[in-house]
Structure 1
Amino acid sequence: MLWRAVSEETPGPKWSGLFAEYWPDYKRWWLKEGDSARPTYAESYRALKEHMPEILPLYEELCALAGGGDHAARFLSFYCPPPYLAGCSQAIWTGKEPVMVRNYDYNPNAFDSLVLNTKWQGRQVMGTSDGLWGMVDGVNDAGLAISLTFGGRRIVGDGFGVPLILRYVLQTCDTAEEAGEVLARVPTHMSYNVTVLDKKRHYLTAMMAPDRPALITHAAVATNHQENVEWVSHARFTATVERERFLLHRLRLHRDPEEKFISAFLKPPLYSTAFTAGFGTLYTAVYRPRRRQMELRWPGTVWPLSMKAFEEGRRQILLPGAA
């Protein structure tokens, strides 16, 4: 995988170039069920205006940079996208300086492999891109970090793709409490577990779903189920219960020091090489919200990134087990 770190304070030629590069693949994915399966532009715009009005001007700016086309604008709304599944494990190491650690398990051929550092609307955000403005994990200049996992349910409803919800939280929230209010309010099209950690050591996990109210918990660990396993075959395949138990043991009983806890994410049962099935570990991310820092880790490789001195760059990563 070729990873890139890109910085652009306001939407401009760098983002426009990235969109032109990624759009053909995203367009095929977005239209795979047919044009009529996706909401119209008017429906998408109304949903954004109702639920995320603060970022509506940013959305309009990005649509213009993307060429102003109907399909691109509907895609960028993230409203009712095609269903998609991921693996993932995430946890808060609750030491003197809490740290958020996560593995992202997904298909390497359907992933941005991109870290974006932006100051859109005056709010600095750094994190792992999805859909070129959504985020699967990230941190903002208020010292708020966030990460997602798939919630292990097949139900699909009317709502937003969760990466845009994460971007919205990072653009508009300063604390875990504020993030929890947003996560309880904004509709999601599938079930996801979203964990947030702020600079004051407060954290929570929101178990979001399209067919029931979000459950806001104080859980420090999230894998790929919610309160109970509802999709048994998926749970067995991804070992979601086993991964959750492993992490809880590390946090509550074994009490690993920070580095040992982080290193555990690079080994089984958390680290996966099941790329042929679409759920291999693409990276491990470590977030230190007080310092506004993140690290991307792979076996034998650490890529540190900081909001204070963000450096653009590239990394060629060989994933064990990936074709």
Structure 2
Amino acid sequence: MRHQYKTFQAIEVGDGSDGRWAAHARGRWQEMEGLLTEEGRTPQGADRVRALFRAHMPELVPVLHRLAGRLDRPGAEAFLTHAALRPFSPACTQIGQNGTLLRNYDLRPDQCEGTIVSSCFLRPVIGMQDMLWGLLDGMNDAGLAVSITWGGRSAYGRGFAVLVLVRYLLETCDTVDEAVGRLRSLPVAVPQNLTLVDPVKAMTVFVGPDMPLTVAPDACAANHQHLPVTDEQERTLRTRERLHALRAAGADVAAMLKPPLYRPVDEQGSGTLYTAHYRPAEGRVTYYWPGESWQQSFGDFTPGSRTVTLGRAG
């Protein structure tokens, strides 16, 4: 079995005004700026995405200005809107059950930022950051947790990368119902599945640029939505197999660390990068890898780094 190594780090950035977030973001800017679309690099395109951001996420506009000013790079504000980014499609699995959110995130190690961030842009939020301030998954101080998987379809439209939508929901919402209500009016660039959990409810919803928000049959998701999965898609992603295994296992960490839910590194270098187990009512999350774990919480957030071995399933 092929093994790779990935270093994860945990950082505190406060409200983004004291330089800690900017120091981290500047260190990643060179690899990030190439993800900005050609349209986003034009004055007209930058104006369009800023207007879209103001229209749909006005509460975060002061944060956008603050972070872009601290980053101080050409194109920074357009990039941070996440409305002019090249699409990406990770393969992930997630379930909400009994007040917890459990997910596996699968991708190439070099395509994942691997940064656990504790922030207080509008309120306390902890999550796995990507694209400088977006979130792959996270929780807030109200007890709401959200994570995403790719919806498995190639549709693309004008809208936001889902990572900034997760950030927005956690910054502005207290409950699953409130978050789903806001999500209905937010344009998303590519099909995505979001699983949301609060102390009393768990739900998965399907969104995309070509469809209205649709509530899934249960609070779990792999990499397909409401349409039938083709044989080719199943061979590539094993999405039906993973969803069946997830439903059978429930929110069980041990099952997430074994095939078929845990995906060893394949020939393309892609595999399960981490398992995250959120207990948002307790303000606590534990990240797992085979043989290793790292717990963080609002009451005891510990900055640092961990280098883990990928590709060895339990």
Q: TM-score, normalised by structure 1?
A: 0.90
**Superposition deviation, residue 37 in structure 1:** 8.8
Q: Please report how far the alpha carbon of residue 267 of structure 1 lies from its aligned counterpart in structure 2 after TM superposition.
A: 0.5
* Matching residue of 2:308: 317
Match of 1:294 among 281, 285, 289: 285
SS at match of 1:153: coil
Q: What aligned pairs does 1:47-86 form with structure 2 within 5 A after superposition?
A: 47-67=52-72, 69=74, 71-86=75-90
| Distance change (3 Å), C-alpha of 1:164 and 1:231 | farther
Aligned residue number for residue 222 of structure 1:
221
Partner of 1:187: 187
What does 1:81-96 align with in structure 2 at a 5 Å threshold?
Answer: 81-94=85-98
Give distance in 1, aligned partners of 2:43 and 2:201: 37
Amino acid paired to 1:244 = L
Q: Give the corresponding residue for 2:36.
A: 30
What are the Cα deviations for residues 212-270 of structure 1, in whole angstroms up to 9, with x where unaligned?
1111345221000002235652332110001111111223xxxxxx6xx1110011001
Is 1:279 matched up with 2:233?
no
Out of 3, 6, 11, the residue aligned to residue 6 of structure 1 is 11
Tell me which residue corresponds to 1:235: 234
Check conservation: 2:207, 2:214, Cα contact below 8 A: yes
Q: Kindly tell me the number of residue pairs found equivalent between the two proteins.
A: 306
Query: For the aligned residues, what is the CA RMSD?
Result: 1.9
User: What is residue 255 of structure 1 aligned with on the other side?
Assistant: none
**Which letter does structure 1 place at the counterpart of 2:110?**
N
Q: Which amino acid aligns with 2:262?
A: Y
Gaps of 5+ in 1: 252-257
Alpha-carbon displacement from aligned partner over 1:78-134 (angstroms, at most 9, x marks no partner): 00311211100001233xxx321100001111111100001112x000000011210
Instruction: Kindly indicate whether residue 118 of structure 2 is the aligned counterpart of residue 117 of structure 1.
Output: yes
CA distance in 2, matches of 1:193, 1:178: 17
TM-score, normalising length from structure 2? Answer: 0.92
Deviation at 1:45, TM superposition (A): 0.7
Q: 5+ residue gaps in structure 2?
A: 1-5
Among all aligned residue pairs of Structure 1 and Structure 2, give the percentage whose two residues are the same amino acid: 32
Cα 1:21–1:315 shift into 2, 3 Å: same
Q: 1:254: which partner in 2?
A: none
Match of 2:160?
160
CA contact (8 A) 1:39 1:80 kept: no
- Aligned AA for 2:64? Y
Query: 1:205 corresponds to which residue?
Result: 204
What's the offset of the Cα at 1:15?
0.8
Q: Is the Cα contact below 8 Å between 2:97 and 2:202 reproduced in 1? A: no
Match of 2:3 in 1: none
Map 1:92-171 onto structure 2 (within 5 A): 92-94=96-98, 98-121=99-122, 123-171=123-171
Secondary structure at the counterpart of residue 207 of structure 1: strand
Distance (whole Å) between structure 2 residues aligned to residue 43 and residue 278 of structure 1: 36
Is contact 2:92–2:149 with CA below 8 Å preserved after alignment? Answer: yes
Say whether the 8 Å CA contact 1:127–1:137 is kept in structure 2. yes
Q: Secondary structure at the match of 2:242?
A: helix
- The amino acid of 2:79's aligned partner reads F
Report the residue type matching 2:31 in the other structure.
D
CA contact (8 A) 1:225 1:235 kept: no
**2: distance between equivalents of 1:18 and 1:170?**
21
CA distance in 2, matches of 1:218, 1:205: 8
1:16 paired to 2:56: no
| C-alpha contact (below 8 Å) 1:152/1:229 kept by paired residues | no
- Cα distance in 1 for partners of 2:86, 2:231 equals 22
Find the aligned partners of 1:230 and 1:278 in 2 and give their Cα distance.
Answer: 24
**How much has 1:44 moved relative to structure 2?**
0.9
The separation in 2 between residues aligned to 1:73 and 1:217, in whole angstroms, is 34
Q: How far, CA to CA, are the matches of 1:38 and 1:84 in structure 2?
A: 24
